A and B are shown apart, each in its own frame.
Chain A
Amino acid sequence: MIEYRIERRSGVSTYQQIVQQTKQALRLGVLQPGDKLPTAREVVEQTAINPNTVLKAYRELEREGLVEPRPGLGTFVRRSLARPEAAADGPLRAGLVEWVDEARTAGLDREDISALMTSVLEQRFRTGVTGSTGSAGDTGAAGSTGPADPAA
């Protein structure tokens, strides 16, 4: 189960916030296949937003094949967005750690590395407009977890 945080002045529509936060929970494994999403009633009671907005967000997630409604029971997670390739012990992460260490040795600080990473991601993901919106969240996550790790 997850709890949504609705930021009214963020400029992102309420319905998009629910979709994005659900996807983030699916990526991080906070939500896993078989888990139940909170009911519209539970969400609106806690966030004081319009119930139709919640239903619209759930329909969008359903359309993307991520969740499914089970009549009389609620809405359940169908598939995860967690990527085993990106796991803590995976080779992709190890390669990134190595690269970040190299960049620090070369004298780049955290902001330099983050800017470089963002710039390369922008460049590599620019082709294909439809793919770029979905991966925008990914770029943010990779940019922040990557450089933060070696400092730990």
Chain B
Amino acid sequence: MEKHPHLLLWKAVFVLIIIGLGFGVYASSKSIDYTWRWERIPQYILSTEPLEIRSPFDGTVTVDETNKLVTVESDFGDEPLVIKGFDTLLINDGDLVFEGDPLVETKHWNIGPLTWGLIMTLQLSVVSLIFAVIIGLFTGLARISSNPALRYLSVTYIELIRGTPLLVQIFIFYFFIGTVLDLDRFTAGVAALSVFTGAYIAEIVRSGIQSIHPGQMEAARSLGMNYVQAMVNVILPQAFKRTLPPMAGQFINLIKDSSLVSVISITDLTKAGREVVSSTFAPFEVWFAVALMYLILTGALSWAIQRLEKRLSASD
């Protein structure tokens, strides 16, 4: 790439435009009649809650000099209770305690509903991704097979899936196939997402394989490798590298598409967001927070794939 003149100037222009946009958003948020309550959001992501530890028996308390270690000697000869790692002390050295008396308090981290939603989205995406890659790989290979039955089957599958909306497929998977095969929500959701994404991955795999020079296959076969060995050792590793950028796009799409499974009552990040809105009455803040959490997932993924691309470019 040619180095642009006035590099610094144009970078400054970029920063200014971003700041301008940010200010515009801020100003417009002021102009509407809406009270922002950002403080309501964090507890739905992560919250703390005090947890008391109570004495299991009657006894005497000893606290060491550092206030870090509490020992309760039982009056009835039970094994003494030793407590370490707490946040607040509720008793003093030498106190007599009865069974059920609170001794110390620890802060207990509680994962909020938005984080649970994020975890569900992550689970959905990862499981669907694995199946989608497997489906896509085999469909892509079938697509370029010399066997007409395999070829037509894969074309039919790809065209059917790409030609219908994901939302409709999710309903079909949940209400029809889910009823026939007795699938739970999660399985139906994963099935719909992986079948959908698999069709796109199949096309990426096909174009990746076809972009490898036919001489590579000939060279591999001329060395005595059979078709499968040549594919696995020569063609696919090269195709994999070449298809990484479109794959990354597809994986990111998968993460975002997973928000559609909220229609079959899977509490993913989007559905969690909807639930939190109804309890906070702070829709703007919640949706911004949800968007940010999706961005974290997709951003991490595209960062990881860029790293992988860099590592694989060693042979270029």
Physical interaction between A and B: no
Binding site for A on B (CB under 8 A): none
Binding site for B on A (CB under 8 A): none
